[in-house]
Amino acid sequence: MSFIKEFKEFALKGNVIDLAIAVIIGAAFGAIVSSLIDDVITPLLLTPALKAAHVEDLNKLTWGTVKYGNFLSNVIKFIVIAFVLFLIIQVINRMKRKKDAKVDVPPVPELTLTEKLLTEISHKLDK
C-alpha cells in the first residue's frame, strides 16, 4: 500500500476526525469563555469592586467598560466555525456512503457455456 493511501485511510478514520473536530470546537469555545470573563464579567463585577477598595468617596466609583462587541464577535466566530465543520462532516459522510455503496454490490459470476445455453433454451421455451 502506498504512503498516500495509508495516510488517507488514517486521516479519514472516524476517531481522527472526531478528535480534530473536538480540538477545533474546544479552542473556539475557549475563546468565548475567555471573552465572557475578560470583556463582560470583569468590567461589570471585578473592576468596580477593586476600585471601591481604593476609592474613599463611593460617589466617584465608575463601572468598567463592557466590551460586548468582542464577546459577540467570538460567539459569531464560534457559530461560523461550527457550521463549516458541519459542512465538512457532511461531505465526509457522503464520501463514506458512496464508498460503502460501491463495496456492497457483489460481483456477478460469469456464466459457463452450459449455463448460457440452458438460459437460452429456457427463454425460448417460455415464449
User: CA 120 to CA 126: how far, in whole Å?
Assistant: 10
pLDDT digits (tens, 9 = 90+) for 62-117: 667 888 899 999 999 999 999 999 999 898 888 878 776 666 566 777 888 888 88
Q: Which three cell numbers stand for residue 22?
A: 473536538
**0.75 exceeded by pTM:** no
How crowded is the C-beta side of 55, counted as CA atoms within 13 Å?
A: 13
pLDDT digits (tens, 9 = 90+) for 4-48: 888 877 777 778 888 889 999 999 999 999 999 998 888 888 777
Residue 111 backbone class (left: φ over 0; alpha: ψ -120 to 50; beta: rest)? beta
